[in-house]
Structure 1
Amino acid sequence: MRRLRALMASAAAIGGVLAGVTPAASLPAPGNTGQGKLTWSSCNDAATPALQCAMLDVPLDYAHPNGTRIKLKLNRLPATAPRSKQQGPILLNPGGPGDSGLWMPAYISGKIPQDVASTYDWIGFDPRGTNASEPHVTCDAHYFDAERPDYQVSKGTSQAWLEKSAKYAADCAAHWSWFLPHMTTVDNARDMDSIRRALGTQKINFYGGSWGTSLGSTYGQLFPSHVRRMVLDSIVGPTISWYDHNILQDKEHQRRFDAFAAWTAKADSVYHLGTDAATVKQKYYQVEDALRTAPVAAAPAPGRIGPAEFEDTFYGGGYNFLRWPRMATVLSAYLTRHDTRPLAIAYNSYAAPGADDGTFPAYNAVQCTENNWPRDWEFWKKDQAEVDAVAPFYTYNNMWYNAACMFWPYQGDRAGRLKITGKGLPPVLLFQATEDAATPYEGGVAMHKALPGSKLVVQNGGSFHEILFHGNACLDDAFTAYLRDGSLPSGKGFVARTCAPEPDPAPVYVTPSPTSLTAGTTLAPTDPQAVHGVR
């Protein structure tokens, strides 16, 4: 405990000197930010030769636009339609906070009819401080290294996690105190307007998923006259605190885990894990408990897969139900064949860390800074235990992922989250699933209420987080029509259109290939969207 107190004091001392997130209301009125110019050149992308790349200088602090500059990495897929039919740039963000948008121009433009796609300049970008933008903020490159402490507080690891989280916050502050207070959603929205200015256009179009919906609505609140069309997919509610949002996530992830267990039980002839959901869930916890005693090699990733890595491998099923066959195979292989290869493959595909802490600094810099988080561990312990009683699958995993906010030195009031009113915005098109685990349904309802004139399209059920571009014509056709000519769903009720989810995946045993785990192999999800979105 003495070490933890020292770490807390260190973070507080740094924060006491440097904290101070400039409230959005006190920033100068939108003017020329002094952003740099865009010089496009080939990205040398063999799969998409037309893709162009550029770096853009923007102010670190928009309250001092002539001060320190940072760089944003952008790419674009230019419109190919005749100039008279072109509809301008559409900026793209997949969420995170902090995830790269550079994969999106080629991917999304390839998912809609080319007579529509060809009329837009598709613009991807890496948010400030992340990925290929400069600088790339790294607080602790080894934070996610396996094997990490058990998430479950009943296993006596709370002190280890508190120390780990406090040290992470202190390391971030020690190395990036000049940058972290300027990574809020408002800062990123102002970056979008710098991009608009550099593109030389009066209005932009926007597609955002997950945290990208918060980014888009914030941009629309700051710069409504510069929005032409806006699509928000899988929506973060505009009024809920990030702490409370995580509690909603816990409950929805439990629902999706229950759905996975029921789906697996129907396929007992394939997986042999039981014919009812309760038995399947018991088998899941049986494997997790076994990994506490005997972790397995994570190769080709370094380290070992213990209970924390196991949980991380499975929670992604709430984002993408196409993972369910592999997840069920992991349990079946371990319990019925004593085979750990499917577990190692799934971990490397879904949960193994990259070369550093990735977008985790940006995630914390946005969420921890934009609200007042509870600072008292005793409050967290009591409050989260109540959530865990009804949603044990994800609660403590999610709690420790966000625990750095307990110690973050730049907590503010609500300076980073504007009140969203939609004043001056054109009609916004909203997409939301009723069983979205990462951005629960309540967020879509709240955003629809906050944006007069918006239209809400609802998927009644669960399949993916970020529900567009998976081949669901009911959803995708609404997006295409809106981008084509601004047409909106004609329904007059609160929900303008209701769509069914995609059918459940076929239950198949995913047999490992002989080369699945060769040294140096990099395994990745088949769908780029699988790894994006508010955790």
Structure 2
Amino acid sequence: MRKVIALFSAAVAVAALGGTAADAEPVGPDAVVAAPEDTGQGKLVWSSCNDPATPALQCALLEVPVDYADPHGRKIKIKVNRLPATAPKEKQQGPILLNPGGPGISGLWMPASISGQIPADVASTYDWIGFDPRGTNGSEPHVVCDAHYFEAERPDYQVDRGTSKAWLSKAAGYAADCAADWSWLLPHMTTVDSARDMDSIRRALGARQISFYGGSWGTSLGSTYGQLFPSRVKRMVLDSIVGPTISWYDHNILQDKEHQRRFEAFAAWAAKADPVYHLGTDPAGVVKAYYQVQDALRAEPVAADPAPGRIGPAELDDTFYGGGYNFLRWPRMATVLSAFVNQHDTRPLSIAYNRYAAPGADDGAFPAYNATQCTENAWPRDWEFWKKDQAKVNAVAPFYTYNNMWYNAACMFWPYQGNPAGRLKITGKGLPPVLLFQATEDAATPYEGGLAMRDALPGSKLVVQTGGSFHEILFHGNACLDDTFTAYLRDGSLPKGNGRIAKTCAPNPEPDPVFVTPPPAATAKAAGVAADAAPLAPTDPEAVRGVLR
């Protein structure tokens, strides 16, 4: 039985982090899990998700506090789904929560997808739990700041094109629009808030411990949860890792440099495939073709059909940067350049834009992205600083720097000051061994982040895909990686290596160069483009999961 003084001490420690007594860590193995009503939180009432592809999938909404320091105050709801374990009760291993990153990307696709990619004897032992982070997607409310923010044609990203004032106005207006409608929620959409929501889900599931798989920003979410609630973690897998101490502003600079390297890798690959794409045998010629297309779109944007608006240089950049996340996009990207330069055919560009960059019905996860990143770090507030600092980065990484800068510019005007101390310090104290996966050529979460997380979690095991470049490297058919994940989920088995890197795996082979022929022009809109333009499913080989800009 816990002593009263022990419970009081734990409650005080958590309160210092902005929590409540109900958030306090269990003191021993016999600790009682708090009932949902003890924290002002609702219960999970499951019903069918009516998913014909996965009939067993169940859905629910979970009521949680807006502010965990005021557990009985205003409430919001988190959309949750689960694919229940089917193994005999004695073999079941409890819930595993899943998050693909973002911040703010829906995790509801993950239970069916991830469980379907590992052996059934392991998958059947877990309750697979997906959820939409607070304020996003199917959670209530769904925060929308400006439903038209990403509509084409948008101002040119390049600062030497005279569009800086337009972008500053857009970014400031977006921050103001968010504050006008959502001031009561935005300060409570940090990674810590989402981690506390995860623990609310755990309590509502009636589980003493959970396992977790997270990719991209999901690695920040998982490590934050583990720092707040280490004894509640059974197993944890972090894939494509955000460094635990780097500021979001500095993280973007690392991304810019890595995206430049990946763009140059694409150019080298396309140059080797000159018999297919006819862009020249020199990588510099492929790069030149890209900027030739960009200049042509400045002079004369093309229709984004079937998406509204026109494709200009900004939309071209948005279409191409995803190649740094997933090189399976390279054949389509090279086709876009080849068709435009050699045949004056813009249909492949329109198709690629609709697949990769056309906005949805609103601003998607962008409010959550800003609310998380702008609030949990201190950002520069002076445009003159940004202009000078980003110009230095652009000098060595021109492909992505200004695209990334304007995507994040709302943080310059965000109404809630970032935390000068940065994100929660990650020490790994009390955590079981965590399994880490990182590719050396990942552009979105650069390699340094994986090494830094390994150092922050001394009991963890880091698996490195040397030469790998996928963002989120599991589930792309690499047995060395996927079998390591499966073994850990099966019984906690970890790689045997004891160094900073416990195991290395070979990269996936680069894609074969093929010209991605668009549908015949006469039937493209009716028969081809609409299907090709549909949003990519997370299991599509060209999909980008867990986009962390």
| TM-score interval, smaller chain | over 0.9
- List per-residue Cα deviations over 1:234-271 (Å, max 9, x = no partner): 00000000000000000000010010000000000000
Separation in 1, partners of 2:547, 2:225: 18
On the 8 A contact 2:434/2:459 being kept in 1, the answer is yes
- List per-residue Cα deviations over 1:336-375 (Å, max 9, x = no partner): 1111000000000000000000000000000000111000
Residue 525 of structure 2 is aligned with which of 494, 510, 517? 517
Residue 115 of structure 2 is aligned with which of 106, 109, 119? 109
- CA spacing shift, 1:271–1:520, aligned 2, 3 Å: closer
On the 8 A contact 2:18/2:68 being kept in 1, the answer is no
Residue 426 of structure 1 is aligned with which of 426, 432, 436? 432
Q: What is the 5 A alignment of 1:156-305?
A: 156-305=162-311
Separation in 2, partners of 1:188, 1:356: 22
Residue 408 of structure 1 is aligned with which of 392, 396, 414? 414
Per-residue deviation, 1:25: 1.9
SS at 1:96 equivalent: coil
Q: Count matched residues.
A: 514
Structure 2 residue runs without a partner (length 5+): 1-13, 25-37
Separation in 1, partners of 2:420, 2:354: 37
- List per-residue Cα deviations over 1:40-89 (Å, max 9, x = no partner): 11111011111111110000100100001100101111000000000000
Per-residue deviation, 1:414: 4.6
Q: What is the 5 A alignment of 1:21-170?
A: 25-29=17-21, 30=23, 32-170=38-176
* 2:385 matches 1:379: yes
Q: Paired residue for 2:9? A: none
Question: Which AA in structure 1 matches 2:544?
Answer: A
Question: Which AA in structure 1 matches 2:417?
Answer: Q
TM-score norm. by structure 1 comes to: 0.94
Separation in 1, partners of 2:400, 2:142: 30
Residue 455 of structure 1 is aligned with which of 454, 461, 465? 461
* 2:487 matches 1:481: yes
Question: Which AA in structure 2 matches 1:534?
Answer: L
Q: Paired residue for 2:395? A: 389
Separation in 1, partners of 2:506, 2:114: 21
Separation in 2, partners of 1:225, 1:494: 24
Question: Which AA in structure 2 matches 1:254?
Answer: Q
Which range moves more in the overlay, 415-424 or 269-278? 415-424
Structure 1 residue runs without a partner (length 5+): 1-21
Q: Paired residue for 1:352? A: 358
On the 8 A contact 1:325/1:508 being kept in 2, the answer is yes
Q: Paired residue for 2:547? A: 533
TM-score norm. by structure 2 comes to: 0.92
* 2:327 matches 1:335: no
Separation in 1, partners of 2:154, 2:420: 33
Separation in 2, partners of 1:115, 1:414: 47
On the 8 A contact 2:247/2:422 being kept in 1, the answer is no
- CA spacing shift, 1:67–1:516, aligned 2, 3 Å: farther
- List per-residue Cα deviations over 1:12-55 (Å, max 9, x = no partner): xxxxxxxxxx9972433415422111111111101111111111
Separation in 2, partners of 1:526, 1:520: 15
Per-residue deviation, 1:222: 0.4
Separation in 1, partners of 2:324, 2:351: 18
On the 8 A contact 2:438/2:464 being kept in 1, the answer is yes
* 2:299 matches 1:307: no
Larger RCO: Structure 1 or Structure 2 (Cα < 8 Å, ≥ 6 residues apart)? Answer: 1
Runs of 4+ in structure 1 deviating by more than 3 angstroms, as ranges, are 514-522, 526-529
Question: Which AA in structure 1 matches 2:463?
Answer: V
SS at 1:492 equivalent: coil
- List per-residue Cα deviations over 1:408-431 (Å, max 9, x = no partner): 011232567210000000000000
Per-residue deviation, 1:527: 4.2
Query: How large is the Cα RMSD of the aligned pairs?
Result: 1.4
SS at 1:92 equivalent: strand
Q: Paired residue for 1:3? A: none
Question: Which AA in structure 1 matches 2:187?
Answer: P
SS at 2:236 equivalent: strand
Separation in 2, partners of 1:254, 1:33: 47
Per-residue deviation, 1:472: 0.3
Per-residue deviation, 1:516: 4.5
- List per-residue Cα deviations over 1:492-535 (Å, max 9, x = no partner): 22111101110000000000124543386542335445142311
Separation in 2, partners of 1:516, 1:86: 49
* 2:502 matches 1:491: no
Separation in 2, partners of 1:365, 1:331: 36
SS at 2:67 equivalent: coil
Separation in 1, partners of 2:537, 2:41: 37
